[in-house]
Amino acid sequence: MDSNSRQPVKYFISKGIDQFFIGIHDIFKFILQFFKEVFRPPYEFKEVIRQCYLVGYRSLFLISLTGFITGIVFTKHSRPALASFGATSWLPSLIGIAIIKALAPLITSLICAGKVSSRFGAELGSMKVTEQIDAMEVSAINPFKFLVVTRVIASTLMVPVLVMYSALVGLGGSFLNVHANEKTSVVMFIHEAFTKISFNEISSSLIRSVLFGFTIGIVGCFCGYNASKGTEGVGKAANIAVVMTMFLIFIEEMLIVQGFNLIYPNE
């Protein structure tokens, strides 16, 4: 390969690196603007409540179905392994730790990434394309506070609530399976499920839920608020919002778990 043919390759690599760091700068600037606007009046309480309804209540059916199936399936897969050691009595404790500590925050956040983050990206993207955001600025309305801040607050508040709800539904599905096979009472199941769960595990789950909710809101709004012109930009914004949110959730999950393992090595 001669020097002339290498020039386009170097150009595209250099351009890709430049775009990556420009994107990192833009999203950090976007996050900084959010924290500046969130504490500055006026406060859009009605819009925050409306977005909480859209994020939380509208997601209940999907979260309920997924949590219930997760509890049943995980219990079914765990029973044979414990039965080989004669330890099926440990099943409620295993399910409680697995669902509350790991499965509920991760699965619920991934579902919200697909449902909520894509909706944020599509809504704000369509408003950007149709110049509704520019019209709000002309009307002396702060579009960033009304559109972005309210949605990020709603997702940050509601995702932890959905995670706790998903954990309870998952434990309910697990109990039905355990009761059908081992005839365990509901009181015994609840006692065994929660007796091995410490405060550190609950706090870890809540911290991850809050961070995942913030990530879902901020990435979805960022992609929609900075969507390119044209109808194609709306679909691209929704698609990138889902992909980037899921990727960041996995990265955050890995970092938080590693951090808690360093702080509490025996947990």
Q: Answer whether residue 208 shows pLDDT above 50.
A: yes
Residues 6+ apart with CB under 8 A from 209: 105, 108, 109, 159, 160, 163, 164
Q: Cα 236 from chain centroid?
A: 20
Mean pLDDT of 36-65: 91
Mean pLDDT check: name the lowest of 12-16, 46-50, 86-90, 155-159.
Answer: 12-16
pLDDT in tens, 67-81: 999 999 999 988 888
Of the candidates 51, 246, 238, which has an alpha carbon nearest to the alpha carbon of residue 126? 238
Q: Answer whether residue 87 shows pLDDT above 80.
A: no
Q: Are 216 and 113 in contact (CB under 8 A)?
A: yes
Mean pLDDT check: name the lowest of 94-103, 141-150, 168-177, 227-236.
Answer: 227-236
pTM greater than 0.85 (yes/no): yes
Mean pLDDT of 22-48: 88
Q: Answer whether residue 6 shows pLDDT above 70.
A: no
Residues 6+ apart with CB under 8 A from 93: 192, 193, 195, 196
Average pLDDT, the chain: 86
pLDDT in tens, 185-204: 888 988 888 888 888 888 88
pLDDT of residue 80: 86
Q: What region, left, alpha or beta, does residue 140 occupy, with left being phi > 0 and alpha being psi -120 to 50 degrees?
A: left
* 8-46: b (≥16 Cβ within 10 Å) or e: eeeeeeeeeeeeeeeeeeebeebeeebeeeeeeeeebee
Mean pLDDT of 96-125: 91
pLDDT of residue 43: 85
Radius of gyration for the chain, computed over Cα atoms and rounded to the nearest angstrom: 22
142: helix, coil or strand?
coil
